[in-house]
Structure 1
Amino acid sequence: MRLIYIDAPAGSGKTRALTEKARWLAHTGDNVLFVQPTKELIDRTIERQLASNQRHTRYEAIYSDDERRGVSVSKQIIERLKSGFDGGGVLFITHVAFLRLKWHGRLMGWHLMIDEVPTAFQCFEHTVPETHRILTDLITPGQSDIAGYPFAVVRDGTELRKMARNGEKDEVWAQFQAVASVLESTRWLTYLHGENFDGVRNGTMKKLLIFSLLQPSICDPFDGVTIAAANFRESMLFRLWSRQGVAFVENSADTAKLNYRSHENGRLLTIHYAYDGRWSKTGKGTALKRSEFETLMDLMVGKLRNRLGDQHFLWVANKGDPDNLFNGMNGLRLPNVPHGLNEFQDYNCVVFLSALRLSNPVRSWFEAMGISAIEIDAAIHMEAAYQAIARSSLRSENSVEHVHVYLPDLATAEWLQTKFPESTLDFLDWIPERLRHKKKAGRPRIHENDNDRRSHSRRKIELCNAISATEALINNRSALLERIERLLPQSELIGDETIYIDDNNVAILSYGMRFDNVKCSTPKAVLIERSEDQFIERLRQYGLVQARSDNKKKMEAISPAIYDAFKAGQKRRGRQNIEFVSGVWIDVDRISCGPDNLSDIFRDCKFAIFNSVSNIDGKWRLHLYFPTKTIMPPESYKFIAERLATRIHESVQDAHVEDKLAPTDLFLLPCLATDSSGNYFRYFNDAGRTSIDVQVWLQAALDDHLAGSTPGDDIPFVESPTIDPTFPRNDVMIEKALTQWAQQGWKPGSGNEQFLKLALKLVRAGVDDDELQSLLRTAAGTANSPDDRRASIEGTVKSVRRFSKQWTV
């Protein structure tokens, strides 16, 4: 399935762009189902985008029951979908109504447009120690793709449908009506927690857990689907549907028409926070002793009342929090779903007190699918804070007013800072020290100060986002092909007239873009070859023909990035223009050892190395190129480049690596040296060397970051076959390795590889032979073929011990 999306900041004009497209389709005779979060937003969209437009567009909004005819919203919508509009039109409905639709078959001539991300999952927790059989007798566990979470297979569909409809208004059935509706729907895929379901059935557990995922098939009836939302690529729907193989393609044409692509006014924002812990409903209810306030929430409200005085401000809290939190003040409570609301742009202060963290069982379910805790919080809790902030004057790119945001926790503050570059964080010393830091007793301090801790947390977020973006990019074949087709007319191509994708659908055989010089903003050509070896040979040929010059403006350059020059408004070579990046370039400005010596530093990597125009004081100036097995998004490039640069710094004392670690940097192509003795070109591709595996290196970067290692301590390379190191024990790395096995090891066809990787990681984390065999036996029990894995333990242990002798401590 292929879905179009528009991902741009709040206030950039996404709804307007969607409406213009819907209006155009309606005028061509097609029909559009336009889905928005609330009926209030529907009314505003119709008033501002359709009713006021001079060219009339047929439209209808259905979001309340027709009491005169006794017709429900769903039936009204179905009737309109069947009849359509005479000559084309737009039907507006809410997210809730859309998710309840029961339609089978095609809707010819209908297009689906979704404004903001709808709910992609539902979770049900029922405490039913005595009455669970009302539901559990109707379902049974079935094998699924998530270890420990079987599918909920319906045993009695007739009884379940009766419960879902509950025509007799049975009060007991009413408690299960919502989950029954999901279980009997083909639009939702429902999972059980295996141990929990068995425990509830045999009486050892009281609370029944059921989880459901919205299926992409809900979009099947429509001729085309477009979704527009801020931070869409971080949403749960994007992550969950990408996992199911949906190809998401960005609508570059409509995106280019938006007011802006990123928040450029972050310098006007100060984010105040007071709490280092995880702000949750339980946490904010923490009782305070020897204080004028009863709970942490009371303390936050009390401090805010004193701080804000007579200021006008917007505020958001959980639904269960009363409306009178700020009685007597100039505070205006925002709705909990404020998407698209523009009428609050004269406010320069926002208070966000909501706690929207998922329960631990739900978080564990998502983590079993490979979605990390920070990704979950970003998609739900932090996104809600972002939407609240975006109602303020920050929504207007012309505003010069400074905005102050008050929220409880540091993690949300740091995430918001990534959305508003140049914004400022401010710590509020409001909460007692003993409550502010939620840490286990006796745990040593990891970071020397708060700045280091915030920097560490921010880098972790960036690494997680880079890993997720890389996986989404290289697994999306149809989206890549569409991007390539759009790029072909923009350049005079060198080499073949087609950009190739290899048999594994991951490596686009284009190796960057050529520019007239390092100051140029418009690319001259896409560099294309059938293989990386042919591309490096082309680089060698450049070195034989490009004349040296003291003026860099007269020498051709290359960028590792492939740009769409028309993607980001007036910019042609900005980060937002990048479609993908291939390979990594490193410039070494001064190094005393010869270039051949660099081969030992990167003995696990293929790479080419060549001279610059001239050397300085007898020291070499060199350019290095490292091919990658896959393409990567721009956010991943710097982490790979940093690790390569760190290896040089740590291995050569006087080396000076230029600070060119961004995918937008330009690098001089090979040329003749001023002194002919300085001409040098060498390609190291002997046995044992491989191109950089972007995903492996990024995961290594994250593992080392979480374990507190330096960026250079990455994938080990051969040093000496006589070394038999004993690695220091690292419990963080052990837990990380076991978690990754739980997420990947059960997949058919990958057991051998993943089992060996698990063993290698455990040894590197300091596990001895006895513990290694014990951990591997436990892990084998969750494999797709447990008996095969158990039988391979002895050989696996011997293999990893043999490999470990080649590692450097």
Structure 2
Amino acid sequence: MSGNTINYVDAICGAGKTHGAILYAIDQAANQDAKIAIIQPSRELILQTEVAMTKQIRSMGVEVPLTTIYSDDDITQGDYVSVSTRIQDHLKKAAEIPTGQILIITHAAFLSLPHWHRKDSWEIIIDEVPNIAPFHRYELEENSDLLKNLARIEPDRGSPAYNKVVVNDRELVEKAILLNNDVFGVFRDLAKNLINPHADIYCLKGQWDRLSTKGNDSIDFFGVVGSSLVKGYSKVTIMGAHFPDSLLAMIWNKEGVRFVENKGIQLRHTDHDIGARQLTVNYLSELSWSKALKRKVGISHSSIGCILPSIQAILGTCPFIWCANNDLLNQAVDPHFRGSATRISNVSHGINQHQGVHQVLVLSALNLTTDHFKFLEQRFMIDHTEVQKAISHETIYQALMRCSLRDPAATDPVTIIVPDRSLGEWLVRQFNDNGRIKLNRVQTDIPLLETKSGSTSRMGGRPPVNVVAMTNAKRESKHRKKKRQIRNGIMAISLGLRGVDETPLDSSSVYPCLEVSLIKDIHSAPIDFEVLNNDELISQLKVCWEFKANSKHDNILISPARFVEKEGIDTKRGLENVISVHGIWLDQDDGTLTPDEMNRIFPDIRFVAMNSYSGNKRYFFPTTIPMTLEAYHAIWDIMVTAIETYGYSKDKAASNFHGIDKSKRPACSMFYVPCQAKDPSKSFWVEFPGVDIDPLFFIENYLLPDPTEYVASTAFANPVSDGMKRLREAIARTSNDNEVAKARQVSMVISQWRNAPKGEGSKEFFLLGCRLRDLGLDESSIRQKLNEEAAYARHPDERRKQISRIVASVIKDGHHPNASNDHGDDQGLRRKG
């Protein structure tokens, strides 16, 4: 691989790419003394290539050493040497030979090889695109200790919903790979990826956290093999059908790899020209084919009876090849066709012995899991339909092309049955249209296989009429533009600049202040409420939480947004009036999500969990800087998506319903300020430590979820009570009014005490009492504050013992009871005179 350049050959099935690679490799090895390694997907294909290459070398009259290394089931255990060891031994010996040579190994061996000796002297040709997104699923039945001995987790910067999985005990991991042990062997494939320096492994945070808990014993691991896999070789070429659309090309392109066509490997032809013959593609389902759909229509591991008559009517008695998932037994198909059916593997690259067959049946469901699709979409911005084409469609295409379609000289009509319309439509587009290519639906009289009115399938089926899917490049460009727009808005606020966003709702001047809004009642204009820092805001929210309201609505309102009136806009606190937002608020009505579980989802992020008047839960996540309207909504979406990916459902009927109120998503939403719950047993205030959310980090590193329609519920009108009326009137004054000013000043003197230098704790604790008195707090309030602040002392118990003496002193004469010595006698308690 020269720099970040990889060569490729985009070769359709039957184009002779392997034959072209054979001729190229022999020529380079014989005439340029090149060392060429050909890497192929299976042992069967290696055996075919070895025979063809040996014959070609003889016919050309040249001497080129040829070595093939692959697993051999015939070797007894006592004589067995691992494929990896044999390859590495060969590479060391090859380094001593100056002349050219050829080595052929499998994809699996190459992907798991820990080291390639003198790779800079080798050119590699990868025949067929390898799988660089491995997936491992384990059902552990609560026995997860061995897995956790092998692996541990680290936070994933790419998404708050995933963990990165790394080696915990390398010796155990190597045992899992090398030992012929059924216990360790369960994790062999995962272990190989864990020690692969080119692979990153991830798992869902929720699945890992729930391991070893009753009823939660399933876990999925998603892998990504990076382009570093092929760095350092003298030259790299990857050959495969539809290579630019492969998952490898899409992912490695995002790593900065540049792909250049290798014209040195010659092909017989470059497109599917089927001449004048007829091609009929029949499909079973309008919706995307899946294992779940198969079960619903009645297909089992031993029977396809529900669709058998329809298939027999199309295939008749002529020979055909067929493929399906491994869980479908041969007896489900073969006995019904009296020797006409021949099963082939889903992975059948390079198998050529069925070119005389003109009919194919495909029942394979090769979709990734929903979580795997989501992982690739969130990690690489690749749409699920593109992933499906790159994996499912391409694999089935390879199986179909084992029949006479791979022979451009064939003339017999070809009949194919595929699972769904999405695959059928994609398949017919691969051939040059000669006017005799037809796409038909198989008549089965099974309602589940028909498209319901207005329904679409997430993973395929027919797209809406006149809708053209956005390409990955366009999606990524749009995503980058959106991120850039949000970043610019945040930076404008942070730097105190006046800026105007492109989105109409975000068009506003922005300011550097950290402010929220207080609202007296639903009819009142918002009042800007400036805070010095998040500590002050949280402190004041806690003061409010201590208040016992008379009813749910007997309270004032708070909004994370700062509003401004605009000319031509009738509203005073609508979305159009928002100019900045501080903090993320999540309101939870019912649901099973707990504050402790929220902390597991966001373990490194600081937040406060508190009750509402009715006893529901509310969460406040402070941010390092104010945000624009669009940034708030994006981060809100990221966090709720992380909660759902963790394992909570947005479906109210589900047992794991999270309860997050999406009507409170808009940044202009209002919340009643914290207060004691109507039922005292439901009152709680818990501060979880961590770092404040950095909006720029979230926007830069996490995928922005697709926009969702939300509805903002109207805030309740506050009934008037004498006590609350006075409180509203006090808080609804301007920021210079006494009540608001007092709250700020209390926070400031508390901050001064918390930052007291070592050795000054006793003195500053006394001064805190004095300052609270000077701000007008009564004896009870001073005592309460001192009790709370004692927890922040270096010696909490000593401070608590002083509280009664301090209160008595500051209320009477303001002298420190023991100002000279933190550990002196009680002389300071004596009253003067």
Query: Is the structural similarity TM-score above 0.5?
Result: yes
Q: Verify the 8 A CA contact 1:112 1:222 in the aligned structure 2.
A: yes
Q: Quote the residue 1:34 is aligned against.
A: 38
Residues 21-49 of structure 1: CA deviation (Å, up to 9, x unaligned): 21122111111111111222222223334
Q: Verify the 8 A CA contact 2:631 2:695 in the aligned structure 1.
A: no
* Cα distance change on mapping 1:319 and 1:760 into 2, 3 Å: closer
Matched, 1:298 2:310: no
Q: Quote the residue 1:9 is aligned against.
A: 12
The Cα shift of 1:275 comes to: 0.9
1:123 to 125, 130, 135: 135
List alignment gaps of at least 5 residues for structure 2. 482-502, 504-566, 576-604, 606-623, 639-660, 672-687, 700-706, 708-833
SS of residue paired to 2:252: helix
Q: Quote the residue 1:386 is aligned against.
A: 397
Q: How does 1:630-649 map to 2 (within 5 A)?
A: none
Matched, 1:332 2:342: yes
Residue identity in the other structure for 2:84: S
Q: How does 1:358-397 map to 2 (within 5 A)?
A: 358-369=368-379, 370-397=381-408
Q: Verify the 8 A CA contact 1:7 1:228 in the aligned structure 2.
A: yes
Distance 2:119 2:404 in 1: 41
Q: Quote the residue 1:344 is aligned against.
A: 354
Residue identity in the other structure for 1:194: K
SS of residue paired to 2:376: helix
Distance 2:456 2:228 in 1: 46
SS of residue paired to 2:428: helix
TM-score by length of 2: 0.54
* Cα distance change on mapping 1:444 and 1:406 into 2, 3 Å: closer
Q: Quote the residue 1:213 is aligned against.
A: 224
Q: Verify the 8 A CA contact 2:284 2:419 in the aligned structure 1.
A: yes
* Cα distance change on mapping 1:341 and 1:331 into 2, 3 Å: same
Q: Quote the residue 2:560 is aligned against.
A: none
SS of residue paired to 1:126: strand
Q: Quote the residue 1:553 is aligned against.
A: none
Q: Verify the 8 A CA contact 2:165 2:203 in the aligned structure 1.
A: yes
Q: Verify the 8 A CA contact 2:287 2:450 in the aligned structure 1.
A: yes
Distance 2:329 2:140 in 1: 30
Matched, 1:399 2:410: yes
Q: Quote the residue 1:98 is aligned against.
A: 110
Distance 2:344 2:141 in 1: 39
1:786 to 685, 693, 698: 693
* Cα distance change on mapping 1:402 and 1:136 into 2, 3 Å: same
Q: Verify the 8 A CA contact 1:39 1:63 in the aligned structure 2.
A: yes
Q: Verify the 8 A CA contact 2:456 2:462 in the aligned structure 1.
A: no
Residue identity in the other structure for 2:61: R
Residues 507-539 of structure 1: CA deviation (Å, up to 9, x unaligned): xxxxxxxxxxxxxxxxxxxxxxxxxxxxxxxxx
SS of residue paired to 1:387: helix
Q: How does 1:109-508 map to 2 (within 5 A)?
A: 109-137=121-149, 138-165=151-178, 167=179, 169-200=180-211, 205-251=216-262, 253-254=263-264, 257-265=266-274, 268-288=278-298, 297-324=304-331, 325-327=333-335, 328-369=338-379, 370-422=381-433, 423-433=437-447, 435-437=448-450, 444=454, 454=462, 456=464, 460=468, 463-464=470-471, 467=474
SS of residue paired to 2:166: strand
Residue identity in the other structure for 2:367: R
Q: Verify the 8 A CA contact 1:272 1:406 in the aligned structure 2.
A: yes
The Cα shift of 1:723 comes to: 10
SS of residue paired to 2:200: strand
Q: Verify the 8 A CA contact 1:414 1:454 in the aligned structure 2.
A: no
The Cα shift of 1:91 comes to: 0.8
Q: Verify the 8 A CA contact 2:287 2:456 in the aligned structure 1.
A: no
SS of residue paired to 1:336: coil
Q: Quote the residue 1:54 is aligned against.
A: 60
The Cα shift of 1:331 comes to: 2.2
Distance 2:630 2:318 in 1: 57
Distance 1:93 1:759 in 2: 47
Q: Verify the 8 A CA contact 1:310 1:330 in the aligned structure 2.
A: yes
Distance 2:158 2:355 in 1: 46
Distance 2:693 2:118 in 1: 43
Residue identity in the other structure for 2:334: F
Residues 357-392 of structure 1: CA deviation (Å, up to 9, x unaligned): 122222221222222221222122211221122222
Identity percentage over the alignment?
26
Residues 177-223 of structure 1: CA deviation (Å, up to 9, x unaligned): 33233223323211121122122266673212222222322223421
SS of residue paired to 1:3: strand
* Cα distance change on mapping 1:105 and 1:58 into 2, 3 Å: closer
Q: Verify the 8 A CA contact 1:318 1:355 in the aligned structure 2.
A: yes
List alignment gaps of at least 5 residues for structure 1. 475-603, 605-720, 728-745, 793-799, 801-809
Distance 2:342 2:123 in 1: 37
* Cα distance change on mapping 1:133 and 1:459 into 2, 3 Å: same
Distance 1:776 1:397 in 2: 69
Q: Verify the 8 A CA contact 1:345 1:396 in the aligned structure 2.
A: yes
Distance 1:367 1:171 in 2: 35
Q: Quote the residue 1:63 is aligned against.
A: 70
The Cα shift of 1:101 comes to: 1.6
Distance 1:294 1:431 in 2: 21
Q: Verify the 8 A CA contact 2:287 2:449 in the aligned structure 1.
A: yes
SS of residue paired to 2:124: strand
Distance 2:297 2:359 in 1: 28
Residue identity in the other structure for 2:60: Q
Q: Quote the residue 1:660 is aligned against.
A: none
SS of residue paired to 1:191: strand
SS of residue paired to 1:407: strand
Distance 2:133 2:113 in 1: 16
Distance 2:368 2:697 in 1: 36
The Cα shift of 1:789 comes to: 6.9
The two structures, once aligned, show a CA RMSD in angstroms of 4.5
Residues 409-444 of structure 1: CA deviation (Å, up to 9, x unaligned): 1111111122224332111211422x12365xxx74
Distance 2:53 2:370 in 1: 42
Distance 1:6 1:230 in 2: 8
SS of residue paired to 1:408: strand
Residues 599-620 of structure 1: CA deviation (Å, up to 9, x unaligned): xxxxx9xxxxxxxxxxxxxxxx
Distance 1:397 1:390 in 2: 11
Range moving further from structure 2, 418-427 or 191-200: 418-427
Residues 4-27 of structure 1: CA deviation (Å, up to 9, x unaligned): 111121111221222222112211
Q: Quote the residue 1:20 is aligned against.
A: 23
Q: Verify the 8 A CA contact 2:142 2:211 in the aligned structure 1.
A: no
* Cα distance change on mapping 1:99 and 1:356 into 2, 3 Å: same
Distance 2:270 2:391 in 1: 22
Q: Quote the residue 1:517 is aligned against.
A: none
Residue identity in the other structure for 1:398: A
Q: Quote the residue 2:667 is aligned against.
A: 773
* Cα distance change on mapping 1:82 and 1:752 into 2, 3 Å: farther
Residues 573-632 of structure 1: CA deviation (Å, up to 9, x unaligned): xxxxxxxxxxxxxxxxxxxxxxxxxxxxxxx9xxxxxxxxxxxxxxxxxxxxxxxxxxxx
The Cα shift of 1:294 comes to: 10
Distance 1:392 1:105 in 2: 40
Distance 2:236 2:54 in 1: 20
Residue identity in the other structure for 1:88: G
TM-score by length of 1: 0.55
Residue identity in the other structure for 1:317: A
* Cα distance change on mapping 1:16 and 1:790 into 2, 3 Å: closer
The Cα shift of 1:457 comes to: 7.2
SS of residue paired to 1:285: helix
Residues 237-295 of structure 1: CA deviation (Å, up to 9, x unaligned): 222222333222222x247x423322233873221112112211222122549xxx999
